[in-house]
Structure 1
Amino acid sequence: MRVAEVSPHRLPPALLLEADPSASSISTYLLDSFCFAAIEGDNILGACVLQNLIDGVLEINNLAIFPELQCQGLGSLLLQHVIDTAKKRSIRKIELGTGTFGHQLAFYQRFGFRVETLIKDYYIDNYEEPVWEKGIQHKDMLRLSLTL
């Protein structure tokens, strides 16, 4: 298993839809992004899509692992690689948006991400279809950040 920077065009759309269920949302950020992938052989098992926001600040737009491979440490490996690479590139802060509940929130908090703001009705206003997790509809987005 290795983590490497890859072209956004190499990322399987089905993988990106695991973290962001809107193809139109993905299309708004994917081509202006740079990406890292967890790769085994020729297979991409997970990916992290990032954008430069302002000088010294990155945004994680999508971090996804195929469902059958989740909870095996691939997401942690990928996120740690992103954090380490950001530090080497003199990035001072990483930001992201996620739901107000669920395993993703706890995952990012384990790496030291902290809540900065809440955007009410984000998933209602910006997604064509309701976003559900474990029978609960996501409505609001939490903006998290990690100061490096």
Structure 2
Amino acid sequence: MTSIQEDTLIRKLAPGEKIPYDLLLLADPSIVLITSYLSLSEVYVMEQNRQAIACYVLLAHNTDITEIKNISVNPAWQGKGLGKILLQDAAQRARANGYKRICIGTGNSSIAQLYLYQRQGFEIVGIKKDYFMLHYQEPIYENGIQCKHLVVLEKWLG
């Protein structure tokens, strides 16, 4: 558990505990895709006064690299630096578990996320063209831009 303030903490969900789908769907509108990676992942929730206000999901690729598959903050709590705290917590946990790298993907239209991830030391390592057009039934728009491509970023934990 990582304390943020006296009444705020980040903790791993226990097996069988309620999954915060309301938060996960803020970052990924496909319940099908979320469900496909949850069983292989670890879910971490940020709580204040026992209320989930943000979360992230870690999925190990191999012994060297883990991925943040989903990261989200309740809209009422956005703009308070919680995304930065979640990214730092994920990197710290990954490093403590022996991973050398952590990666994250986001849409080409996710301007604020691209800014945040790069400010936290992630670097763009690839683009999966047409990812969102192939994996989502409905078009996604952010910032007036159609989300088409998945931008992959990575951070060395050394």
Say whether 1:58 aligns with 2:98: no
**1:35-64 C-alpha deviation (Å, 9 max, x unpaired):** 211111221110010111011210110000
Aligned residues: CA RMSD: 1.3
Please list, as runs of the form range in 1=range in 2, the aligned pairs for 1:33-52 lying within 5 A after superposition. Answer: 33-52=41-60
Report the counterpart of residue 4 of structure 1 in structure 2: 11
Q: Which amino acid is the alignment partner of residue 117 of structure 2?
A: Y
Instruction: Calculate percent identity across the aligned residue pairs.
Output: 34
Please list, as runs of the form range in 1=range in 2, the aligned pairs for 1:79-94 lying within 5 A after superposition. Answer: 79-94=87-102
User: Aligned residue pairs: how many?
Assistant: 148
State the TM-score, normalized to the length of structure 1: 0.94
Give 1:10 shift: 2.7
Give 1:33 shift: 0.6
Q: Which amino acid is the alignment partner of residue 58 of structure 1?
A: T
- Give the counterpart of 1:21 among 26, 29, 36: 29
- Give the counterpart of 1:115 among 102, 107, 124: 124
- Of structures 1 and 2, the one scoring higher in RCO (CA 8 A, sep 6+) is 1
- Give the counterpart of 1:126 among 124, 135, 144: 135
Contact 1:11-1:47 at 8 Å conserved across structures: no
> Structure 1: 5+ residue runs without aligned partners?
none
State the TM-score, normalized to the length of structure 2: 0.89
Contact 1:11-1:44 at 8 Å conserved across structures: no
**1:10-49 C-alpha deviation (Å, 9 max, x unpaired):** 3321110100011111111112110211111221110010
> Structure 2: 5+ residue runs without aligned partners?
1-7
